[in-house]
Structure 1
Amino acid sequence: MRLLALLWRRSRLLLCLAVLGGLLSGAASAGLLALINHVLAGNREPWLLPGFIGTCVLALVSRMGSQMLLNHLHERMVYELRVDLFHRILATPLRRLEELGPHRLLATLADDVMVTSTGLLILPTVISHLAVIIGCLTYMAWLSWPALLGCLVFMFLGVLSYLLPARYVTRLIRTTRDVQDVLFKNFRALTEGIKELKQHRERRESFLAEDLVRTAAELRRLRTHSSYLDSATKIWGSLLFFVMVGLLLFVLPRFLAVETSTLMGFTLTVLYLQQPLDTLLNTTHVLKQSNVALERITHLGLDGQEAPRLAASAEHPVSTFRELELNGVTHTYHSEQEDRAFTLGPLQLTLRRGEIIFLVGGNGSGKTTLAKLITGLYLPERGEIRVNGVPVTGQNLEDYRQHFSTIFSDFYLFERMVGLAPPDLSERVREYLRRLQLDRKVRLEQGVLSTTALSQGQRKRLALLTAWLEDRPFYVFDEWAADQDPTFKHVFYEELLPELKRRGKALLVISHDDRYFHLADRLIRLESGQLREAPPLQAHPRERELA
């Protein structure tokens, strides 16, 4: 079982102590049954009452101790599972995360972790009841080995009849989990595309009927089917107890000479076993779901390839940036315009400090992909990237990334100034907000922006605020000015970019604003996966004509 394997890998000592406590509890339970059966048989020795009280105390203390250890282990495992998942996502290459899609990651974080947590929560109870069952079987063996063998044969056949449909239920749970991924994808489309759905009746009705409702109905069908089968197997498992009691009372005496006290002890033990075994049957469905959820987390493909690079980053501060070279770099990706792989490169490019470079090209030409290659978010398949003449490798990739402040077109804006704590933070933020014309809308309160509920253009200005505070040697702006009004667009190109250049920053600006191409030191166009460079003043009229 994956859950037990997870517990064993993470904390063997605590698990062994908890299991030992559970075994003591099971032995105490078996001892109580033996004492009760002894008294019912007519024995009245003076030691029975103290023995009964002592065994009750042992059962209470051992079971409580085992339960507390397992509960502690559960909470620790859930915490470690979440933190490990956070680290694995952060250490997984961006390309792999993009292939998985946000919906699968959200489904894992929101659903799989919680389902696994539920399984870990009930696992202590399962282990405790298993210990009780082992103790009871030991007592039955002490009463009569032949009778126990007959009961075990019947139990084996009963468990087999239970497991056969249970395996089919597990397959249904896996299929249900796949459909749930699709449902999360549809949820994301619903929330992000709500404006388009409201404005187009046919699209809204089609999306509702063919995507949302159909997926929800399929999920309901699968879950209902699996719950029906699970309920049927549980009822069948409960019925097996009474069948076993009937066999003990009416069939076993015909084939085996059994004393009345032994028969009474077996019957009492089987009836006592009904509660722990019934609990186990009732939790199997949850445990199956938890195993499938843990399987999904394990097989998500979050390989954490970048984990060693992240761990070593603090030891190597950002060096003084002079120049960056792309030497024969190639990268293959899926083109938006064609249903086939598209190869970017081989690329030869040198970028220097104190230089403004405009990167232009058609939609889907690979401009953003090139920006992700330059900033180290994508890895080249061939060729190499050099910074200050030093090749970028797996060992120094994380340090290389620290050279860049980027604002991509699909940027995310953190409300808190994450990782930014200069001594004069508040003063600098107030000054930058004033220059960005946001000082009347946004304030910094204890390191948190008062609001990010702004227009897209204003949100991009806040992202620029963060980039300013990072103060890194290389800035990348991906269509930053696309959502700005003409006045602030002029401020960005005519004031902010030249100011960053005077400060010795290297700037890569992805833009279609041809009226500002003359401000670039170099104008580079990306066409058919290749870079073509032209002097900005000569290229400016041609770019205007193409636009």
Structure 2
Amino acid sequence: MNLLLLLLRRSRGAVILAVCFGLVTGAASAGLIAHINAVLASGGTLADRGTVLGFMALGVLMLGARIASQLLLTRLQTGTTFALRDELSQRILATPLRRLEELGTHRLLATLVDDVQSVTQGLLCLPPLLINGGIILGCLTWLAVMSRVVFFALLIFAILGVASYLLPTRRIVGLLRESRRTDDRFFRDLRSLTNGLKELKLHRERRAAFLTQELFPTAEELKQLQVRVSTLHTFTTSWGMSLFFFFIGLLLFALPGIAPVSPSTLVGYTLAVLYLQQPLDSTMTLLPMLGAGTVALQHIDALALASPAPTEETLPPARLTASPARIDLVGVTHAYRREGEDTPFTLGPIHLTLRPGEVLFVVGGNGSGKTTLAKLITGLYAPESGELRVDGKPVAEAEREQYRQLFSTVFSDFHLFDTLLGLAPGAVAERARAYLQRLQLDRKVRIDASGALSTTELSAGQRKRLALLTAYLEDRPVYLFDEWAADQDPMFKEVFYRELLPDLKAAGKAVVVISHDNRYFDVADRLVRLDSGAIVADESQKRNTDGSEPSPAASPSAASGTGLRL
């Protein structure tokens, strides 16, 4: 039913029209059976021109209504499937990053691949099911008109038959839910397989343990669940099909001894039941697929993803300045549970200020909260208490998307796209080529007129340089680098700290650098030390020659026309 509601939300009018065509199909089918029964009962004496024309008209009507219903629902199903995939992608992007990290990449991939496919197959079942429903309803109506006594017997038999079919079907739906949960674990194992290829190849015992304790058992459990679903479905479908012949036997051999039934009624009911065998068989075959689609749709809803983000037209008017004079974190905290720990880890309360033309280093041991702080600074995590302020004005929840546009970042787990997405390639082509040369990538990578990169198959350090190039082209007021130099050779570390960071500072950018390279701490204007989620030191690194505090950095407006001097 959830799938039908999904179609109704997409286009209520098209669904209603398709159902009407399905009912017309059923009525025409019942009319055809009535004509056949009348001719058979008369011994062929009613096969005159009017009967033939009526039979042909009903046949054309049934064919036309069936095609119209199928086309309407199929087009609606196709549109709904692609709309669901698009909406799901938008909802994932609109969901807070912390929620997505809790769900895990494997669950999101399973949803985008398996759940969407199951919903698609379930939607494909709806057109024939609705048409079959119209045919069954039309035939049952004609049978009720023909003989109420026999129809009452048919109704009792049908209720018992449907009950005997639905009881194991409920078990099938339960197995489908269990299979879907197992599928999440299977995708997790597949992700471990692809991401851990080097480690598995280098350690025979780990490889054997992974296969025998993780991947193979999960795959075997998934296989057993699917076999059980298939077995139950085979038994229930075969039982459902045998009920037709049980009823025909009851109709021909038992019912005439209980109540008087005319030969024409017996022939008509036999014809109708045999005719209904095909749509009912199709319905019983499609119901498990419909159940799988319903389970998949429920699983998508259970992810609790956010609604799609507002478009440019629906965003509130921009209240945040594009070149802020300062960004403040005021009493910001964030708590989360780390793997293997019973108590949550709390970062904060954090009091921190970012200013243009200032290089801020964030240092601390592993697990001190540096990357979490970076995600709070950039608005990827929402603070649980405290607030972000831009030029003294608090950032409201509706403005968080605008706030994130102030930052260009290269995180330690960054992703490198194959194209300069979101950047006008013609306007940045020359700058991109200059940056490639400055980053010593001009012999490795080329950028064509459309902004496509010739390759991203580079070393870890070179990939980070390419990510840095993208960040340069974005030209945002704040830059954040999370352990950017960790994969660079000594020569390029020197370039990064002694040349690239000062260039960004000279361009009036606020720069935040998470680093362990203590030999370059003198590059920072301020050094913030984190320990166990708290700032334990916020030190000014530079003073004028007379010992006084350095003068405030030039305003961003004064440097807005300079660009990056690379």
TM bucket (normalised to shorter chain) is over 0.9
CA apart distance, 1:285: 1.4
> Match of 1:307, SS?
coil
Work out the CA distance in 1 between the residues paired with 2:370 and 2:400: 21
> Match of 1:410, SS?
coil
- Cα–Cα, structure 1 residues 452 and 315, in superposed 2: closer, same or farther, change >3 Å? farther
CA apart distance, 1:289: 0.9
Give the letter aligned to residue 474 of structure 2: E
Q: Which of 490, 498, 511 matches 1:486?
A: 490
CA apart distance, 1:261: 0.6
Q: Structure 2 length as normaliser, TM-score?
A: 0.93
Matches within 5 A, 1:99-498: 99-304=102-307, 307-308=309-310, 312-313=314-315, 315-316=317-318, 319-335=322-338, 338-421=341-424, 423-445=426-448, 446-498=450-502
Work out the CA distance in 1 between the residues paired with 2:491 and 2:276: 79
Tell whether the 8 Å contact from 2:483 to 2:514 is kept in structure 1 after alignment.
yes
Give the letter aligned to residue 516 of structure 2: H
Work out the CA distance in 2 between the residues paired with 1:103 and 1:346: 33
- Cα–Cα, structure 1 residues 35 and 377, in superposed 2: closer, same or farther, change >3 Å? same
> Match of 2:351, SS?
strand
Give the letter aligned to residue 140 of structure 2: L
Partner of 2:30: 30
> Match of 1:276, SS?
helix
State the identity %. Answer: 55
Work out the CA distance in 2 between the residues paired with 1:98 and 1:309: 24
Please say which of residues 484-493 and 247-256 is displaced more in the overlay.
247-256
Tell whether the 8 Å contact from 1:30 to 1:135 is kept in structure 2 after alignment.
yes
Q: Structure 1 length as normaliser, TM-score?
A: 0.96
1:512 aligns with 2:516: yes
Structure 1 segments of 4 or more deviating over 6 A?
A: none
Work out the CA distance in 2 between the residues paired with 1:66 and 1:428: 57
Work out the CA distance in 2 between the residues paired with 1:243 and 1:398: 65
Work out the CA distance in 2 between the residues paired with 1:336 and 1:132: 57
Tell whether the 8 Å contact from 1:310 to 1:398 is kept in structure 2 after alignment.
no
Partner of 1:541: none
Q: Which of 517, 531, 538 matches 1:533?
A: 538
CA apart distance, 1:307: 2.5
Tell whether the 8 Å contact from 1:318 to 1:402 is kept in structure 2 after alignment.
no
What is the CA deviation profile of residues 440-479 of structure 1, one whole-angstrom value per residue up to 9, with x for unaligned ones?
Answer: 1111122111111111111111100110010000000000
Q: Which of 95, 100, 105 matches 1:97?
A: 100
Give the letter aligned to residue 77 of structure 1: T
Work out the CA distance in 2 between the residues paired with 1:47 and 1:4: 41
Please say which of residues 171-180 and 438-447 is displaced more in the overlay.
438-447
Partner of 2:554: none
Partner of 1:19: 19
The number of residue pairs the alignment matches comes to 537
CA apart distance, 1:528: 2.3
Tell whether the 8 Å contact from 2:172 to 2:229 is kept in structure 1 after alignment.
yes
Work out the CA distance in 1 between the residues paired with 2:128 and 2:340: 56
- Cα–Cα, structure 1 residues 291 and 335, in superposed 2: closer, same or farther, change >3 Å? closer
Work out the CA distance in 2 between the residues paired with 1:54 and 1:249: 32
Tell whether the 8 Å contact from 2:367 to 2:532 is kept in structure 1 after alignment.
no
- Cα–Cα, structure 1 residues 252 and 421, in superposed 2: closer, same or farther, change >3 Å? same
Partner of 2:561: none
Work out the CA distance in 2 between the residues paired with 1:180 and 1:79: 23
- Cα–Cα, structure 1 residues 313 and 401, in superposed 2: closer, same or farther, change >3 Å? farther
What is the CA deviation profile of residues 42-69 of structure 1, one whole-angstrom value per residue up to 9, with x for unaligned ones?
Answer: 2234310110111111011111101100
> Match of 1:424, SS?
helix
- Cα–Cα, structure 1 residues 64 and 337, in superposed 2: closer, same or farther, change >3 Å? closer
> Match of 1:525, SS?
strand
CA apart distance, 1:535: 3.5
- Cα–Cα, structure 1 residues 429 and 197, in superposed 2: closer, same or farther, change >3 Å? same
> Match of 2:23, SS?
helix
> Match of 2:49, SS?
coil
1:3 aligns with 2:3: yes
CA apart distance, 1:340: 2.3
> Match of 2:330, SS?
strand
Work out the CA distance in 2 between the residues paired with 1:421 and 1:133: 59
What is the CA deviation profile of residues 270-319 of structure 1, one whole-angstrom value per residue up to 9, with x for unaligned ones?
Answer: 00000000001111111111111111111111133x73487644852752
Tell whether the 8 Å contact from 2:425 to 2:451 is kept in structure 1 after alignment.
no
What is the CA deviation profile of residues 366-407 of structure 1, one whole-angstrom value per residue up to 9, with x for unaligned ones?
Answer: 100001001000011111110111101112111111100011
Work out the CA distance in 2 between the residues paired with 1:407 and 1:39: 81
Give the letter aligned to residue 472 of structure 1: R
What is the CA deviation profile of residues 506-534 of structure 1, one whole-angstrom value per residue up to 9, with x for unaligned ones?
Answer: 00000000010001000000012211212
Work out the CA distance in 2 between the residues paired with 1:424 and 1:26: 62
Give the letter aligned to residue 19 of structure 2: V
Work out the CA distance in 2 between the residues paired with 1:89 and 1:56: 49
> Match of 1:354, SS?
coil
Structure 1: 5+ residue stretches without partners: 539-547
Work out the CA distance in 2 between the residues paired with 1:53 and 1:353: 83
Tell whether the 8 Å contact from 1:309 to 1:395 is kept in structure 2 after alignment.
no
CA apart distance, 1:338: 4.1
CA apart distance, 1:351: 1.1
Give the letter aligned to residue 518 of structure 1: D
Give the letter aligned to residue 69 of structure 1: L
Quote the RMSD (CA, aligned, Å): 1.5
Structure 2: 5+ residue stretches without partners: 544-566
Work out the CA distance in 2 between the residues paired with 1:394 and 1:382: 13
What is the CA deviation profile of residues 138-184 of structure 1, one whole-angstrom value per residue up to 9, with x for unaligned ones?
Answer: 11011112211110110110010011111111111100110110000
- Cα–Cα, structure 1 residues 313 and 484, in superposed 2: closer, same or farther, change >3 Å? farther
Work out the CA distance in 1 between the residues paired with 2:317 and 2:460: 37
Matches within 5 A, 1:49-88: 49-88=52-91
Work out the CA distance in 2 between the residues paired with 1:510 and 1:473: 18
- Cα–Cα, structure 1 residues 215 and 496, in superposed 2: closer, same or farther, change >3 Å? same
Please say which of residues 418-427 and 120-129 is displaced more in the overlay.
418-427
What is the CA deviation profile of residues 236-268 of structure 1, one whole-angstrom value per residue up to 9, with x for unaligned ones?
Answer: 001001001111111111122111111110010
Tell whether the 8 Å contact from 1:174 to 1:292 is kept in structure 2 after alignment.
yes
Work out the CA distance in 1 between the residues paired with 2:129 and 2:115: 20
